[in-house]
Structure 1
Amino acid sequence: MTARVGYHLGLTSQGREVEQATLPLRGHLPDWLQGVLLRNGPGLFEVGGYRCRHWFDGLAMLQAFILRDGRVGFRNRHLITRTLEQARRSGRIEGSGFATDTNRSLLKRLRGMMRPNLTDNANVSIAHLAGQTVCLTETPLPVAFDADTLETRGILPFEDNTTLHMSTAHPVADHHGGDLYGFGIQFALTSHYLLYRIPAGSRQRRIIAHLPVKTPSYMHSFAVTEHHVILSEFPLVIRPVDMQITGRPFIENFRWEPDRGTRFQVFDKHRGTHLGTCVGEPCFAFHHINAFEDQAGRLQVDLAAYPDDDVIRRLYLEPLRQGWQEPACGEAWRFTLDLRDGSATRTRLAERGLELPRIHGDRCSGRDYRHVYGTGNHVPGALTDELVKLDVRQGTHLTWSEADYYPGEPVFVPRPGADDEDDGVLLSVILEAAAGTSSLLILDARTLEEQARATLPFHLPFGFHGEFLPDQG
Structure 2
Amino acid sequence: MNARVGYHLGLTSQGRELEQTALPLRGQLPDWLKGVLLRNGPGLFEVGGYRCRHWFDGLAMLQAFILRDGRVGFRNRHLLTRTLEQARRSGRIEGSGFATDTNRSVLKRLRGMIRPNLTDNANVSIAHLAGQPVCLTETPLPMAFDAHTLETRGILPFTDNTTLHMSTAHPVADHHGGDLYGFGIQFALTSQYLLYRIPAGSRRRRILARLPVKTPAYMHSFAVTEHHVILSEFPLVIRPVDMQITGRPFIENFRWEPERGTRFQVFDKHRGTHLGTCVGEPCFAFHHINAFEDQAGRLRVDLAAYPDDDVIRRLYLEPLRRGWREPACGEAWRFTLDLQKGTAECTRLAERGLELPRIHGDRCSGRDYRYVYGTGNHVPGALTDELVKLDVSQGTHQVWSETDCYPGEAVFVPRPEATDEDDGVLLSVILEADTGTSSLLILDARSLEERARATLPFHLPFGFHGEFLPDQG
Distance 2:251 2:384 in 1: 23
What pairs with 1:195-210 in structure 2 (closer than 5 Å)?
Answer: 195-210=195-210
> Are the equivalent residues in 2 in contact too, given 1:282–1:307 (CA < 8 A)?
yes
CA contact (8 A) 2:335 2:347 kept: yes
Distance (whole Å) between structure 1 residues aligned to residue 83 and residue 169 of structure 2? 18
| 1:25 to partner: Cα distance | 0.2
- For residue 164 of structure 2, give the secondary structure of its aligned residue in structure 1: coil
- The answer as to whether partners of 1:329 and 1:353 remain within 8 angstroms in 2 is yes
TM-score by length of 1: 0.99
Q: Compared with structure 1, are the counterparts of its residues 86 and 427 closer, same or farther at alpha carbon in structure 2 (3 Å cutoff)?
A: same
Q: 2: distance between equivalents of 1:99 and 1:384?
A: 21
Q: State the alpha-carbon separation in 2 of the partners of residues 347 and 258 from structure 1.
A: 18
CA distance in 1, matches of 2:252, 2:379: 29
SS at match of 2:460: coil
**1:3 and 1:322 in contact (8 A); partners too:** no
Runs of 4+ residues over 4 Å off in structure 1:
none
The 1:193–1:3 alpha-carbon spacing in structure 2 relative to 1, beyond 3 Å, is farther
State the TM-score, normalized to the length of structure 2: 0.99
What is the distance in 2 between the residues matched to 1:298 and 1:370? 17
1:118 maps to what in 2?
118
Indicate conservation of the 8 Å contact 1:53/1:316, yes or no: yes
1:194 partner SS: strand
| Alignment deviations for residues 370-422 of structure 1 (CA, whole Å, 9 cap, x no partner) | 00000001111121000000000000000000000000000000000000000
- 1:425 Cα deviation from its structure 2 partner: 0.2
- In structure 2, what is the Cα distance between the partners aligned to 1:112 and 1:146? 31
How far has the Cα of 1:32 moved from its partner?
Answer: 0.3
Deviation, 1:316, is 0.4
1:410 is matched with: 410
Deviation of the 1:3 alpha carbon: 6.2
Aligned length: 473
> Percentage identity across aligned positions?
92
Question: Would you say the 8 A contact 2:6–2:431 is kept in 1?
Answer: no
Shift in Å, 1:199: 0.2
| Aligned residue in 1 for 2:22 | 22
User: Any conservation in 2 of the 1:4–1:322 contact (CA below 8 Å)?
Assistant: no
Q: How far, CA to CA, are the matches of 1:319 and 1:336 in structure 2?
A: 35
Q: Is the 1:289–1:359 Cα contact (8 Å) retained in structure 2?
A: yes
**CA-to-aligned-CA distance 1:23-68 (integer Å, 9 cap, x gap):** 0000000000000000000000000000000000000000000000
Equivalent-residue separation in structure 1 for 2:419 and 2:162 (angstroms): 42
CA drift of 1:234 comes to 0.1
Deviates more, 1:289-298 or 1:69-78: 289-298
Instruction: Give SS of 1:157's match.
Output: coil
Of 292-301 and 195-204, the range deviating more from structure 2: 292-301
Structure-1 separation of matches of 2:357 and 2:326: 19
User: How large is the RMSD of aligned CA atoms in angstroms?
Assistant: 0.8
How far 1:369 moved relative to its partner? 0.2
Cα displacement string for residues 135-162 of structure 1 (whole angstroms, at most 9, x for unaligned residues): 0000000000000000000000000000
SS in 2 for 1:11: coil
Q: CA deviation at 1:297?
A: 1.7
Segment of structure 1 superposing worse, 249-258 or 313-322? 313-322
Q: Secondary structure at the match of 1:89?
A: helix
Task: Supply the distance in 2 between the matched residues of 1:325 and 1:384 (Cα, whole angstroms).
Answer: 13
8 Å Cα contact 1:171-1:181 kept in structure 2: yes
| CA displacement 1:85-132 (0-9 Å, x = unmatched) | 010000000000000000011111111111110000000000000010
TM-fit CA distance, 1:2: 7.3
SS of structure 1 residue aligned to 2:193: strand
Q: Is the 8 A contact 2:3 2:434 kept in 1?
A: no
The separation in 2 between residues aligned to 1:8 and 1:256, in whole angstroms, is 30
- C-alpha distance in 1 between matches for 2:294 and 2:382: 37
Query: Partners in 2 of 1:363 and 1:327 — Cα distance?
Result: 32
1:286-330, Cα deviation, whole Å (9 max, x unpaired): 000000001222100000000000000000001110111232320
Q: How many angstroms apart in 1 are the aligned matches of 2:4 and 2:405?
A: 14
Cα deviation 1:5-35 (Å, max 9, x = unaligned): 2411100000000101100000000000000
User: Quick check: 1:328–1:384 contact (8 Å CA) kept in 2?
Assistant: no
Please list every run of 5 or more consecutive structure 1 residues that lacks an aligned counterpart in the other structure.
Answer: none
In 1, Cα distance between equivalents of 2:135 and 2:182: 15
Gaps of 5+ in 2: none
Q: Secondary structure at the match of 1:109?
A: helix
Q: 1:434 offset after TM fit, Å?
A: 2.0
Q: Is the 8 A contact 1:160 1:204 kept in 2?
A: yes
CA contact (8 A) 2:2 2:433 kept: no
Q: Which residue of 2 aligns with 1:161?
A: 161
Q: Secondary structure at the match of 2:114?
A: coil
CA distance in 1, matches of 2:113, 2:162: 16
Asked whether the 8 Å contact 1:351–1:395 carries over to 2, the reply is: yes
Q: Give 3-state SS (helix, strand or coil) of 1:462's partner.
A: coil
Inter-partner Cα distance in structure 1 for 2:470 and 2:325: 39
Shift of residue 4, structure 1, vs aligned partner? 3.5
Deviations 1:246-268 (A, max 9, x none): 00000000000000000000000
Give, in whole Å, the separation in 2 of the partners of 1:73 and 1:329: 32
Contact 1:439 1:453 in 2 (8 A): yes
- Residue 229 of structure 2 contacts residue 266 of structure 2 at CA under 8 Å; is this kept in 1? yes
SS of 1:451 mapped into structure 2: strand
